[in-house]
């Protein structure tokens, strides 16, 4: 008997002819996740198997965080010809259980001498004889012993739910505008979950925002990188741009113009990184710069599509999501962001285009953008 993990995939099953491409990508992602634990990973018959990891608990934690994985089942692998051993192991696995149970057998090896109902009856009877605390309930059992007859026989009773989604890299690459707030890490997670590789851009305004604020963003990127197989963060100095905007533009328009500059620079980095879209954590009506009119004004400066996965989310929903993925605590640390440094008292919620353009014409836009990009620092996780 050997112990291993049987990994089930999620939405990939909907794929048709290109399913092998997605499966291959998923196997690669699982391999990457368990590499330094020494786990061996292989694909057989619509299941991924992981065996031999030095730390099983850590291995499970990592595999359940790989996008594309539906669930992970700690399993016992046995010689399928040895039915006595299968019964014995099944009884052992159910020995500590009480209440109702069911044996659920399936065979992809159709030459196997027993049918699934026959196996259910035999193994179920064997378990019942050895555990008086169990009774059978085939409709809504409290416990389920799964038996899969493939190249070998696999037994498992525990199904640990994983993150779902699609394997990272199968959906292209996008550039996340990552602040230190609650929203943008969640937005990045959601798009990465759909199979998209992430590159992040963070604007910081030293000395108005300090080292700790920057470190907070890097910590968030590190958390995200665990899900999305690594992340490259562009840290862009934004102080000069903010200072000029503050000095030369209408006060009510400063946030909006600042956001337009963020989008322009992000698009330049995204083009260089061959990304197909930008991602922000904006949510309709959350703040003045996120009214429909304001969002249109920021959209206008880029040609690339802008993904805003949180657009219809309430803040409370976003917080719950951030707690679930493990970014909330870091996001809640009280460090300032460049957005909050020069916040106008009455930001424009229905901006007028002629004022936006006349304000921007007073700035040395191109030079500021070139300089910011030239002084960018890259951090990789």
Given 181, 195, 309, 347, the residue binding ligand ATP (CB under 6 A): 181
Contact by Cβ (8 Å): 185, 223: yes
Given 134, 337, 348, 372, the residue binding ligand ATP (CB under 6 A): 337
Contacts with Mg ion by CB under 5 A: the residue count is 1
3-state secondary structure of 48: strand
The answer to the question of residue 337 lying near Mg ion (CB under 5 A) is no
Instruction: Tell me which residue has tokens 């949180």.
Output: 310
DSSP 138: S
Q: Which of residues 272-301 bind ligand ATP (CB under 6 A)?
A: 280-282, 286-287
Q: How far apart are CA 107 and CA 76, in angstroms?
A: 16
Least distance between ligand ATP and beta carbon 267 (Å): 13
Least distance between ligand ATP and beta carbon 202 (Å): 4
Only one of the segments 98-106, 109-117, 200-208, 356-364 lies at the binding site for ligand ATP (rule: CB under 6 A); that segment is 200-208
Given 152, 183, 267, 337, the residue binding Mg ion (CB under 5 A): 183
Q: Would you tell me how many other CB atoms lie within 10 Å of the CB of residue 287? A: 14
Least distance between Mg ion and beta carbon 184 (Å): 7
- Of all residues in this chain, which one has the CB nearest to ligand ATP in the complex? 181
Given 170, 184, 225, 244, the residue binding ligand ATP (CB under 6 A): 184
Residues in contact with 223: Cβ distance below 8 Å, sequence separation at least 6, in sequence order: 185, 325, 326, 327, 330
Instruction: Tell me which residue has tokens 């196996």.
Output: 119
Phi, psi of 7 (to 5 degrees): -110, 125
Only one of the segments 98-106, 112-120, 180-188, 372-380 lies at the binding site for ligand ATP (rule: CB under 6 A); that segment is 180-188
For CA atoms 350, 314, 236, 330, give the dihedral sign.
positive
Q: How far apart are CA 320 and CA 283, in angstroms?
A: 15
**Is residue 61 exposed (0-12), middle (13-18) or buried (19+ Cβ within 10 Å)?**
middle
**Beta strands at 173-177 and 160-161: parallel, antiparallel or unpaired:** unpaired
Given 179, 244, 327, 330, the residue binding ligand ATP (CB under 6 A): 179
Given 203, 234, 253, 307, the residue binding ligand ATP (CB under 6 A): 203
Residue 323 structure tokens = 């707690």
The answer to the question of residue 148 lying near Mg ion (CB under 5 A) is no
Least distance between ligand ATP and beta carbon 260 (Å): 11
| Residue among 156 and 203 whose Cβ is closer to ligand ATP | 203
Chain contacts with Mg ion (rule: CB under 5 A): 183
Contact residues: ligand ATP, CB under 6 A: 177-179, 181-184, 201-203, 262, 280-282, 286-287, 337-339
């Amino acid at each position: 008997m050997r112990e291993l993990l049987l990994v089930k995939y999620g939405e990939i099953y909907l794929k048709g002819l290109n399913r092998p491409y997605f499966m291959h990508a998923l196997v690669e992602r699982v391999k990457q996740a368990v590499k330094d634990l020494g786990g061996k990973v292989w694909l057989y018959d619509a299941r991924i198997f992981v065996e031999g990891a030095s730390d099983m608990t850590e291995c499970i934690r990592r595999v359940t965080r790989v996008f594309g994985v539906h669930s992970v089942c700690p399993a016992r692998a046995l010689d399928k010809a040895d039915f006595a051993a299968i019964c014995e192991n099944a009884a052992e696995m159910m020995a500590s259980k009480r209440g109702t149970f069911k044996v659920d057998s399936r065979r992809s090896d159709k030459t196997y001498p027993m049918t699934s109902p026959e196996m259910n009856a035999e193994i179920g009877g064997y378990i019942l004889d050895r555990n008086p605390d169990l009774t059978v309930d085939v409709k809504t059992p409290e416990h389920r012993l799964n038996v899969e007859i493939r190249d070998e026989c696999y037994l498992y009773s525990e199904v640990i739910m994983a993150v779902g989604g699609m394997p990272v890299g199968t959906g292209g690459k996008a550039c996340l505008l990552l602040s230190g707030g609650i929203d943008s890490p969640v937005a990045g997670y959601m798009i990465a979950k759909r199979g998209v590789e992430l590159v992040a851009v963070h604007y910081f305004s030293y000395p108005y925002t300090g080292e700790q604020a920057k470190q907070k963003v890097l910590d968030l990127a590190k958390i995200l990188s665990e899900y999305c197989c690594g992340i490259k963060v562009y840290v862009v100095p934004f102080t000069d741009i903010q200072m000029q905007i503050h000095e030369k533009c209408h006060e009510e328009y400063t946030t909006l113009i600042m956001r337009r500059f963020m989008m322009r620079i992000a698009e330049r980095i995204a083009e260089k990184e061959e990304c197909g879209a930008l991602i922000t954590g904006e949510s309709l009506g959350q703040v003045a710069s996120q009214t429909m009119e304001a969002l249109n004004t920021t959209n206008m400066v880029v040609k690339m599509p802008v993904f805003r996965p949180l657009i219809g989310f309430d803040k409370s929903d976003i917080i719950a999501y951030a707690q679930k993925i493990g970014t909330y605590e870091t996001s809640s640390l009280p460090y300032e962001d460049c957005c909050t440094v020069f916040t106008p008292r009455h930001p424009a919620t229905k901006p007028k285009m002629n004022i936006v353009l006349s304000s921007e014409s007073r700035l040395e836009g191109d030079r500021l953008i070139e300089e910011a990009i030239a002084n960018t620092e890259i951090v990789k996780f």
